[in-house]
Structure 1
Amino acid sequence: MKELDARDRDILGILSKEARIPMKALAARIGLSRSATTERVAMLEKSGVIRGYRADIGQMDQGLVSAFLMVTLARTPAIGVLDQLARHSEVRRVSSVSGQLDLIVEVEVPSIDRLNTLRDVIATHPSVDDLTTLIVLRRDIDRVE
């Protein structure tokens, strides 16, 4: 593959933000003809620099924060913790797991402040020994069955 020049990098920069831009508009933005731009894009695809096009769907402006709370219990079973978790509508899923953790709690909250409040309520339960919070930055694969 030939080394990328400034126009190739311009194409990549535009396509990374606007993957569905019409070729005519892309050509106009980089200052080449449509056929020359089409050729360059085809070469970038053929060489593997462009591996595909996709829609990267975020939280769709709902303003929601998703997180996983990794909970270690002082002792099991801890029914009181499950009862407490069930009282919070932001708790989407609770999984009992093997290993060093006891529970993985998936939550969806309207803000980081609400996440902190919910986290504090759960962490102060007498049966909770440790709680680690992992905020979801994006979902790379999200299969709904």
Structure 2
Amino acid sequence: MWHEARRSERKVHDMMDAARKRAQRRAVFLAKRRGDPQQSIQAVGSRSRMYRDDALYQATQDQQGLIPWNGKQDILIDRFDGRALLDFIRDSGSRHFRVQEKSEEEEELEEFVNFERYRDLIKHRRRGCRY
């Protein structure tokens, strides 16, 4: 009876260890997949022949394949352009932030908060701790 209980306990522990290892492997796998999205960008190229098509060239130069974007006649894009799927284009000039002047109390409070923020780091550095 004791041996049987011990065997079932060992089996449960083995199953728990296997589940823990599986969870760790899965976490590592998902972390690799979720990593920096720019690391997963791939550029793939292939050879192709160039064919001269004067009619297509002339149509491109005459802007026949361009359509107004979002109903704005001054912004023309190619009909196959991915920007046609966007709803709007942000104006780069619309990001004007006003710098508000701080009162003396706010400046003193900010100075105190910065002092408190870095005080522990300075203490540890004096004691010789690097991290």
User: TM over 0.5, yes or no?
Assistant: no
TM-score computed with the length of structure 1 as normaliser: 0.20
TM-score by length of 2: 0.21
Higher Cα radius of gyration: 2
| RCO comparison, higher one (Cα < 8 Å, 6+) | 1
User: Which of the two has greater strand per residue?
Assistant: 1
